[in-house]
A = this chain, B = another copy of it.
Amino acid sequence: MVFGRFTMGRGHLRVDVRAGLSLVGTLTAALSVAHIVPIIVSLAYGGEDLWVFVATFVLTAAVGLSLRQLDPHPEPGAREAFMVVALTWLFAAVFGAVPYVLAGNGAIAQPVNAFFESMSGFTTTGATVMDNISLDHHSHAILMWRQLTQWLGGMGIIVLAVAILSEMAVGGAQLMRAETPGPGVSKLTPHIEQTARVLWLAYVFFTALFIVLLYALHLAGFAENMTLYNAFAHGFSTLPTGGFSPEARSIQAFSPAVQWLFVPFIFVAGVNFVLWWHVLTGDPRSLVRDAEFRLYLGAVTVLSAVGAVVLFTSSLETVDAGVVGGQLERSLRYAVFQIVSLVNSTGFANMDFYEWSGPAKAILLFAMFVGGSTGSTGGGIKILRWLVILKTLRRELFTTVHPDAVRPVRMNGRVLNEEAVRGIYAFTLLYVVLFFVGIGLLAADAARVGADLTLLDILSASIASLGNIGPGLGEVTGPMGGYGSFPTTSKLLMILYMWIGRLEIFPVLVLLTKAYWRS
């Protein structure tokens, strides 16, 4: 009501805050239904933390439905979309943190840590501040809720990426409309709801298939600890390129067979889900017709091959993973898994890659700046943007010599829209600027409190939050570590970065401009 009166009181305010908040309320209320999952898990495991999820469900639903009352017939426009997108993720993260605070076990019960873990979940980042990740210390329901936040976040992201950002023409996302091969998204499904249903079908299909196959491996005797619980838990965090695991040692906790099964599903999560819809409806060739998919496949293949050779020819011998150098299957498994997992920002680990040699880690750093495909659940700068950048830079060299030549750049057979190219340039530069600003701020903050962090920890925290990757390449930010030792202010910055990064930066940042709130 306060917001409502605020709107009415200032005639030149153009954003319909009531309509926006009403829609955010509806979405929050819808999200509260998801608590059915931890409630079932709790009941299945003796009712531990049951009251926590019942209480959170009631609270979330009540706040959501109340907000909805602000405007019974909201008609949000393009302007309100920024606010709705940004606030929906913020509300999800805030209410998603409640169970961690209520269930109260260790670091995660502290409110900023709980908010961090929840934002990390809903943004499918996978960075953690939880200590003692184990069913010995946390209830089945809490750890499953953590996994579920990623799956819910992933559902939101594919709809956001395909149906909403493309209409908002943010950071070159309008290319999605024009460049997807076959019938365009907008032709395919005139309404967001229909687009969402189509994409979610593919998302649910792959999730279910993965859970079934993981559990089948267990039943067949190839994966002792891949219980039904673990199959669901990892099913929930793979397709959203999430990277959370209820196992402290991530995917290293499982057998090689399980690790290999993860690879294709992690890969799938980084592909445009519009393409998967085409594949599942009988047009598998739309995959290879897509330039972004080809570059994604090529990048993963080349980097994996290089990584495998580097590991194989190394003398790497680790405490937990044994000898790697000279071992063909291991070198291949560790390289392929870590490359696909870091390229598309999943962040799962099947070994502690902090132990890798400098050159091997440098290849992982390179991988971390690639990103997933547009329309996937992957984060980062994204393949399509790199593709456009590489193609237009070639043109830039040409026009340097022939300044008057007009030379359109083509992709998937169509001429690239120059507005979209400008948007992509601006997005990528903003990303780079934020990456460095993050390093500067995190460094100053770490020095302020005397936190014992390495340069690579600080660099990792910036890129792993902004790119929604999760783990980093430093001593404490490595895949077997976490962000618990970062100062509270740094955690708040990382929360902001996860939020900004997940929503392709612009929808959040425009809310901070005067221009957004005035006409």
Instruction: Give the oligomeric copy count.
Output: 2
Query: Restricting to A278-309, which residues have a CB under 8 Å from any CB of B?
Result: 306, 309
Chain B residues with CB below 8 A from A473, complex form: 455
Asked if residues A401 and B362 are in contact (CB atoms below 8 Å), the reply is no
Asked whether, in the complex, the Cβ of A397 is within 8 Å of the Cβ of B433, the reply is no
Beyond A443-B366, A447-B359, A473-B455, whether A169 also contacts B393 by CB under 8 A is no
Contact B363 A444 (CB under 8 A): yes
Q: A313-B447, A446-B358, A447-B310 are in contact. Are A79 and B401 (CB under 8 A)?
A: yes
A residues 425-450 touching B (CB-CB < 8 Å)? 425-426, 428-430, 432-433, 436, 439-440, 442-444, 446-448, 450
Q: In this assembly, does A506 line the interface, its C-beta being within 8 Å of a C-beta of chain B? A: yes
CB of A515 closer than 8 Å to a CB of B: yes
Of B360, B361, B369, B459, which contacts A362 at CB under 8 A?
Answer: B459
CA distance A351 to B18 in the complex (A): 59
If A366-B439, A447-B310, A515-B401 touch, does A458 touch B359 (CB 8 Å cutoff)?
A: yes
CA distance A473 to B409 in the complex (A): 39
A254 and B405 CA atoms in complex are apart in Å by 55
Cβ B400 vs Cβ A510 within 8 A = yes
CB <8 Å contact, A515 and B402: yes
Q: Hey, what's the 0/1 contact readout for A463-500 against B, CB within 8 Å counting as 1?
A: 00000000001000000000000000000000000000
Task: List CB contacts (< 8 Å) of A301-330 with chain B.
Answer: 306, 309-310, 313-314
**Is there an interface contact between A446 and B515, defined as CB atoms closer than 8 Å?**
no
CA distance A422 to B363 in the complex (A): 30
Judge if A398 is at the interface, Cβ distance under 8 Å. Answer: yes
Assess A433 versus B389: contact at CB under 8 Å? Given A306-B444, A358-B454, A397-B509. Answer: yes
A27 at the interface (CB under 8 A from B): no
Q: Is the CB of A313 within 8 A of B442?
A: no
Q: Is A403 an interface residue, CB under 8 A from the partner? A: yes
The answer for the CA separation of A400 and B169 in the assembled complex, in Å, is 8
Q: Which residues of B contact A168 (CB under 8 A)?
A: 400
Instruction: Produce 1/0 per residue, A63-98, CB < 8 A to B.
Output: 000000000000000010010000000000000000
Among B82, B169, B314, B358, contact of A457 (Cβ-Cβ < 8 Å): B358
**Inter-chain contacts of A306 with B (CB < 8 A):** 440, 444, 447
- A362, B436: Cβ atoms under 8 Å? no
Bound: A426/B389 CA distance, A: 8
The complex places the Cα of A506 from the Cα of B394 at a distance, in Å, of 11
A456 within 8 A of B: yes
Q: Which of B363, B396, B433 is the one whose CB lies under 8 Å from A426? A: B396
Known contacts A313-B450, A390-B433, A443-B366, A398 near B515 by CB under 8 Å? yes
Interface status of A107 (Cβ within 8 A of chain B)? no
Known contacts A393-B426, A393-B433; is A442 also within 8 Å of B515 by CB?
no
Residues of the B chain whose Cβ atoms lie less than 8 Å from the Cβ of A446: 358-359, 362
Whole-angstrom distance between the alpha carbons of A402 and B44 in the complex? 52
A433 to B423, CA, bound (A): 18
Q: A313-B450, A429-B393, A453-B358 are in contact. Are A513 and B398 (CB under 8 A)?
A: yes
A36 CB, nearest partner CB in chain B, Å? 37
- Can you identify 21 A-B contacts, CB atoms within 8 angstroms? A82-B400, A358-B456, A358-B458, A359-B443, A359-B444, A361-B455, A362-B439, A362-B440, A363-B443, A365-B455, A365-B459, A366-B440, A389-B429, A389-B433, A393-B429, A397-B506, A397-B513, A400-B506, A401-B516, A429-B429, A455-B473
Q: Which 7 pairs show the lowest CB-CB distances between chains A and B? A: A362-B443, A358-B454, A359-B447, A310-B447, A359-B446, A359-B443, A362-B458
A-B contacts besides A392-B426, A401-B515, 11 pairs, CB < 8 Å: A168-B400, A169-B400, A169-B403, A313-B448, A359-B453, A362-B439, A363-B440, A393-B426, A393-B429, A396-B506, A432-B432
Query: Interface of A with B (CB < 8 Å)?
Result: 79, 82, 168-170, 306, 309-310, 313-314, 357-363, 365-366, 369, 389-390, 392-393, 396-398, 400-403, 422-423, 425-426, 428-430, 432-433, 436, 439-440, 442-444, 446-448, 450-459, 473, 506, 509-510, 513, 515-516
